[in-house]
Amino acid sequence: MMRIILASSSPRRVDLLTQLLEMHGAPTNFERETPGVDEQPIPGESPRELALRLAREKARAVASRHVDDAIAPLVIGADTVVDVDGEAFGQPVDEAHARSMLKRLSGRAHRVHTGVCVVHGQREDSALESTLVEMHPLDDATLDRYLATGEPIGKAGAYAIQGEGAILVARHVGSLTGVVGLPLETLSRLVGNLGLGWN
């Protein structure tokens, strides 16, 4: 049985990885470790570059703790960035910040980039999944109701497409699981590229 470590404390990523393993009939008792990397963007870094760099740094940080393990674990790192005209939207720091983010997203399209990196021993592979998301126009009453749920806090771009935030979204083109935080098709491809399976 392959030992898997998810380099994330995100409940959404835990749920998605669990779904993927169940789909393959694999055990779901994977480990979780917080990477503890600095998530601040580098000056001049694009949202795409930021998402991919942080995914790599998260996976490598956790993998480096297990270099002396008898059996090398498969370490999975991911990072999600909302891209508004080349500006990276991370997680809001408070409700006022979340409101300003959602007002910027209102009635227009943006992209959600999720970088994924897998490390197994000395081998590593990574990829970026980008999804176009279009939001409905959001009036103050809609924003008030959504902010009152508390859901925007801790979510890139201040909304959760898999939760109550779904009502804010007019359409998406691309990977839904990528918007949630872990694009499962991309992850499966990367694991396959390393010559590994889920069992």
Q: Across the chain, what does the average pLDDT equal?
A: 95
At 197, is the pLDDT very low, low, confident or very high (cuts 50, 70, 90)? Answer: confident
CA–CA separation, 140 vs 124, rounded Å? 46
Of 65, 133, 71, whose CA–CA distance to 105 is shortest? Answer: 133
Q: Is pLDDT at 131 greater than 90 in this prediction?
A: yes
How large is the average pLDDT for residues 86-106? 94
Fold (CATH) for 4-193: Maf protein (3.90.950)
* pTM reported for the whole predicted model: 0.93
How large is the average pLDDT for residues 28-57? 95
Q: Are strands 87-89 and 169-173 parallel, antiparallel or unpaired?
A: unpaired
CA–CA separation, 83 vs 87, rounded Å? 6
Residue type for 126, please? S
The residue extents of the domains of the chain are 4-193
Active site annotation includes 85: no
Catalytic residue among 69, 79, 85, 94: 79
The answer to whether 88 and 164 are in contact (CB under 8 A) is no
Q: What is the pLDDT of residues 71-89, one digit of tens each?
A: 999 999 999 999 999 999 9
